[in-house]
Each structure stands twice: as structure tokens, then as C-alpha cells.
Chain A
Amino acid sequence: MRRDPDTRGYFGEFGGRYVPETLVEPVEELERAYFAVREDAAFATELNRLLKHYVGRPTPVYEATRLAAEAGGARIFLKREDLTHTGAHKINNALGQALLAARMGKRRIVAETGAGQHGVASATACALLGLECHVYMGAEDMDRQALNVFRMRLLGAEVHRVDAGSRTLKDAINEAMRDWVTNVAGTYYLLGSVLGPHPYPLMVREFQSVIGREARAQFLELAGRLPTAIVACVGGGSNAMGIFDAFIEDRGVRLIGVEAGGEQIIRGRHAARFAGGSAGVLQGTRTFILQDDDGNIELTHSISAGLDYAAVGPEHAWLRALGRAEYAHVSDAEALDAFQRLARLEGILPALESAHAIAYASRLARELGPSATLLVNLSGRGDKDVQSVEKAIAKER
């Protein structure tokens, strides 16, 4: 299987470069710069040095025996991206792209953020490299992730409140792109997931693929074989692509992405693109999106800000079309329950995003029985979610 998109940035019929004219040349400039550093040993050495000494890689793979015992079935292993510096996998990509920006001579960084994890990672990378950082964040997300907003400001970033549309991640991306199109010469757009125009979906996957490379070797060492299935949550889908990537050629390993089922799979109350969506173009790429009959983007809902988005990365759409990856969804209530179970049974607070993967893995563990092994990407830690979880639990009672 070919792992790169074609020269126009397509993974099969998904991907491409649907941008306003002003951004065509900047995106091509980015592609040239990225392909140059991709072959550059000095760049890799510098990035690897930071990943090891600054981020704290490799992150461990940990067998969650008490979680598995309660689920009653398969063994469950967690790839601990929550233990990275800043507390989520987002830092892998943010550092890679910030290094690239610096190399391109762009000193002003714009980024979008949903849950705030990519914003914090970008602000961190910019502080480290002495770059100016502007983060766009939906007003609703700023309210539910207030702690991360304050973290970004402490790190020297300017956080811009976005009041348009649904006031969440999608609207933050629109605003970040408007900034980029206006200040294009000296500005680098540090996109946080495997979304947007080519080369972003490829580049972000490559910067995240360190997760799968580590996890595959670690799992083989721990379990003496490959896992039955990999489970990861999918918003845009960068943590999932990051861990799937190393296992694509291992045909016996099931790759399972978990989307946000929200309250229910009815219009506007979820973010499960593969359950309620269809092919379309949003924010630079052709992929599965949630849209109405007129081609307008539907509102989404998820308890987790990081999964609350109307489009999925184009490579996921392709892997699904090929039958190489499967996609499921988990409701707000199941994710909330998994959040509490992992805390109680393993002493780990997962991000609400990652709690979706935990919830699905627990379900799957029962289904597959004790001979199976599951590797779950625990993409981030849940400290940022403590307040919204408290509210949600109070509401449930």
C-alpha cells in the first residue's frame, strides 16, 4: 500500500487543496519546505533531540490490568501520550512544525485550538523557539477549557476569542485561516491535526507517527506479539493516524477509530462523521463531513471539545474506503463513565477525548474475550477536563 498521497495531495479520492487563491502559493511554499526537511538528517536530529529531552519521549506502554479485569475480557495496553510534556500528543506535531516555521524564516505563528491542547502545545513550542504565537479559540471552548486558556497566556501566546458560527474548533480554524491569508508573508499556520490542504494531512501524520513506531516495538516486547486491535479517538484524527501509521502493513491488526457520538446520532447532536456524514469539502480538504442538503456545515456536539468538529482527516476517509480501518462512536455518557473508571481503577485521568477510546476498548475487550490484546492510544491527560466533568456528573445526578 502506498503511504503518501499523490502529487496533488489526494489519498484516493480524499484530500487535495481547496484553498482561496491567495493561499495556493503559501501552501506550495510550505510543501517545498516540508519535503526538504523530510529528507534532512539535521532536522530529524534536532527534532529527535527535543522529543527525547524536552517532550520526554519515548512515552511508555502500560498494561491496564484493573481496567481490563473490570471490562472482563481482552488485555488492554495504554500508550501513554498523556505523559508527554504539556500532557497530550499534540506537542509532537507542534514542535515539528514550529521548527519548520523557524527554518522557513517565519517568526509569527497562528494556530487554532479546540480543547486547548494544540494551543498549549503551540504556545509551548513558540516559547521554546522564541516565536510569536497567536491562538484562535471558539468562545464556547474558551469557557469549557478555561484552564488551558490561562496556560496559553502564561506561555506568552495571545489567545483570540472567536464568536462566529458554533463558536468551537471549526470556527477557530476559519479565523486562523483568515489571519493567515491576511498576514501571509511572515506568518506560519500551525495546523493541529491531519486536516486542511495538502501537505498538512501528510505532514501532521508524519510528525505524529513517532507514537506508532514506539508503541509497536514496545508492544512486541511486552506482549511478544502484535495487538489484536489498535483503538484511538478521532476528532481530526492526528493521534489515531500517529498510532495507526506503524501498523498499516500489519494486515492482521485491526485499526479502530472512535468518533464522538455525542448525545445521540441525530442532526446537530453528535460529531460522528462516518455515522452521519458524507463526502464534501471543508477548510481545504475533501473528506467526510457533517453537512445538510444545501452543503452547509452542520453544528456538532460532543462533551469533548477536541472531538467536536464536522470533518475528519482525509486519510481516515481513505483508510475506511479501503476497508483498512474501522470507525465506531461512543456517546458522551459512555465517555464520561470511562473517564471515571480509568481514574478509579488505574489512577489515570484521561482527557475526555481519550476517554472515548477507553470506553470503546472496554466494550471491545468484552466482545473479543481473553485471547485478544488491545492497544489504546491514551492521547492526553484529563486535568483540563476536571471542571467540565464535575459539571457533567452533577447534571447526570
Chain B
Amino acid sequence: MSRLAETFRRIKAEGRPGLVTYTTAGDPDLARSAAILEALDRAGADVLEVGVPFSDPLADGPVIQRAAERALAAGSSLRAALALIGQVRPKISAPVVLFSYANPLLRMGLDVFAAESARAGVDGVLALDLPIEEAGGFRDTLAARGVDTIFLLSPTTTEARIRKAAELGSGFLYGISRLGVTGARDRVASGAADLVRRIRAHTSLPIALGFGISRPEHVAEVGVYADAAVVGSALVSVIAEAGTAPDLVDRVEQYVRWLRGAAEGRTQHAHA
């Protein structure tokens, strides 16, 4: 069983919503990024998404755009992200999902990328602008190395494409709770439950729901219908606000413990 499958099995058995975190590799720099990933794992994040900084992040809102700029300025890149994951892998238990735009992966070459990912201990890859129609060869190349391909599904995704994603995806499926770019919001989008219900009708894969989640009550709310909630921009904001403060890593750890608090409180898994 893959590390992702095992993690989601355990979350389900524990009857609580899972917590997936997103941080950008090399934000604010590579050394502190490593310390942050270890802190996230310690604080109880179930899956660590690690973003590859890209010069043109057209699906991201301002918070993650700025993170990419900080990371690039600090010398981060796809190669650096893979080295970072390889370095922290032995020290953490959570599975790691690499989150990237297509071009850095294509530039490295898919075969080399798949081999390097497997060697670094990457469990899954999500390529933001590589929709199902373009991702066939990509998925097979990763699968041959035992790396899962995670697909995004949005409120605009048709039933036919949900079926295809369910067929080709592995590890979990990532639902986008609302239209738009990444960014924290005050409340979870109203169509989120409906999207998860539509996905659930076609698959037994775990479903994580992201975009706009920032508070423990959001995690709890999402946990009623999805297997896990993804917290991205809100966490990246904590990193941005801490800047060079010496307690950066502590603040990140406290924030994630606070988010996990809600998760621990739940005993009954809604669809268990």
C-alpha cells in the first residue's frame, strides 16, 4: 500500500478529518523550509504538499505568488525542491505531494523527473496546468516509479471528466471548493459539499478539499463530507508574516496544532 493510501486509511480509521498543508519549497529559504516541513509533520499534518516555485503561477492568488517570488529569490527550483524533500524524508512520517506547474517538470524531462521524485521519496505529484487530457504519459511514467498522480477537480468539471480522473488518479483526488485562484477566505464555499458528493459518486479514492480554508472550524466542516482539508494560503501567510523572526518555525507549528485541534475533537467520521 502506498504511503498516501495508508495515511488516508488511518485517517478514516481514526474517524477524523485529515489535514493537508501546502508550503512553497524554499520559502523563506531552503534551510528554514526544511525546518518548516519537519514542524508541520510534528504538529500533525497528515499530508505535506510542497510547491515548486514558478515564475508565472497563473492559478495562484497573491499570497502564494509572493511565496514563489521569495523562494525563487532564495535560489529555490524544482531541483532544490526535490533535494529538500530527499533531505527531510527520513525525518518525517507524512507523505509528500509535489505541487508544480507543468513547465519545470517538462524542462527536466518526465523520465528524469519521475526517477528523481521516486529517489527523493515523493509520494504523489500534482501538476496544476496538466489537465487529464494532457497527463496520460505523465501519469504512466510516474506510476512506473510508484509515484501517485493527483488530479484536481473543480466545480466546473463535468461528470465525464470526474470519471476519467477517478480512473487515472491515485493516492487521492483534490477538489477545488470554489472558482478562482488560491487564497484564504472567511468561510468554506457553499458548493463544496456538492462537489465532493459528485466526486464520491464515481470513486472510492479519498477526497481532499482545498481553496479558501484557514480555520479549525473550516477543517471540521470540510471533514463532514471530505476525507481531508487542504490549508495553503493561510499557512503561507503565517510564514510571510513571521518573515525572518526567530520564532518562525514555532509559529507555523502552533498554527497547525490549532488547526488540528478541531480535527482531534471529532470522533465520528461522517461517511464512515
Partner of A295, one of B104, B151, B181: B104
B36 at the interface (CB under 8 A from A): no
Q: What's the least CB distance linking A137 to chain B, in Å? A: 16
Of A14-22, A88-96, A200-208, A324-332, the segment with at least 4 beta carbons within 8 Å of chain B is A14-22
With A21-B176, A22-B156, A181-B59 in contact, is A295–B105 under 8 Å at CB?
Answer: yes
B154 adjacent to chain A (CB < 8 Å): yes
B103 touches A295 (CB 8 A): yes
Q: Report A14-33 CB contacts with B as 1/0, cut-off 8 Å.
A: 00111111111110000000
* A248-256, A281-289, A312-320, A388-396 - interface stretch: A281-289
Asked if A20 contacts B56 (CB within 8 A), the reply is no
Q: Does A174 count as interface, using CB distance less than 8 angstroms?
A: yes
**8 Å CB contact of A24 from B57, B59, B131:** B131
List B contacts of A294 (CB < 8 A).
77-79, 104, 107
Bound CA–CA A216/B154 (angstroms): 46
Docked pose: A281 CA to B105 CA in angstroms: 10
Structural contact, A296 and B134, CB atoms closer than 8 A: no
B24 to chain A minimum Cβ distance, whole angstroms, is 14
A contacts with B: majority SS: mixed
Let me know if B254 is at the binding interface, CB within 8 A: no
Contacts of A18 in B (CB 8 A): 102, 129-131, 134
The answer to whether A184 and B156 have CB atoms under 8 Å apart is yes
CB-defined contacts of B130 to chain A, threshold 8 Å: 18
Nearest residue, chain A, Cβ from B156: A25
Interface residue from A24, A25, A182, A281 paired with B181 (Cβ < 8 Å): A182
Known: A24-B131, A24-B161, A25-B157. A182 touches B180 (CB 8 A): yes
B107 adjacent to A20 (CB under 8 Å)? no
Q: How far is the CB of B265 from chain A (nearest CB, A)?
A: 32
Query: Measured between alpha carbons, how far is A279 from B133 in the docked complex, in Å?
Result: 19
Instruction: Compute how far the CA of A294 lies from the CA of B155 in the bound complex, rounded to whole angstroms.
Output: 32
- Does A58 have its Cβ within 8 Å of any Cβ on chain B? no
Q: Which residues of A contact B72 (CB under 8 A)?
A: 296
Cα A168 to Cα B167 in complex, Å, equals 40
Give the interface residue-count category, chain B. Answer: 35 or more
A296 pairs with B54, CB closer than 8 A: yes
User: Which of B56, B101, B104, B179: most chain A Cβ within 10 A?
Assistant: B56
A345 an interface residue at 8 Å Cβ cutoff?
no
Residues of A within 8 A of B179 (CB): 22, 181-185
* Docked pose: A184 CA to B178 CA in angstroms: 11
**B contact residues around A280 at 8 Å (CB):** 103, 106-107
Encoded as 1 (CB less than 8 Å from any B CB) or 0, chain A from 270 to 313 comes to: 00000000001111100001010111110000000000000000
Inter-subunit contact B103/A20 (CB<8 Å): no
C-alpha spacing A16/B106, complex, angstroms: 14
Complex CA gap A387/B238 in Å reads: 45
Q: Which of B56, B106, B153, B157 contacts A283 (CB 8 A)?
A: B56
Interface centre among B104, B106, B107 (most CB of A within 10 A): B107
> Measured between alpha carbons, how far is A182 from B183 in the docked complex, in Å?
11
Contact B134 A295 (CB under 8 A): no
CB interface residues, B 153-190, toward A, < 8 Å: 153-158, 161, 176, 179-181
Chain B interface (Cβ < 8 Å from any Cβ of A): 54-59, 61, 65, 72, 77-79, 101-108, 128-131, 133-134, 151-158, 161, 176, 179-181
Instruction: Contacts A21-B151, A25-B161, A170-B56 known; list 9 others, CB within 8 Å.
Output: A19-B131, A21-B153, A284-B129, A293-B107, A294-B78, A295-B54, A295-B78, A295-B105, A296-B104
Q: List 12 A-B contacts (CB under 8 A).
A: A17-B134, A18-B131, A20-B129, A21-B153, A165-B55, A171-B56, A178-B181, A280-B106, A281-B101, A294-B79, A295-B104, A296-B103
Q: Which A residues are closer than 8 A to B by beta carbons?
A: 8, 16-26, 164-165, 170-171, 173-174, 177-178, 181-185, 280-284, 289, 291, 293-297
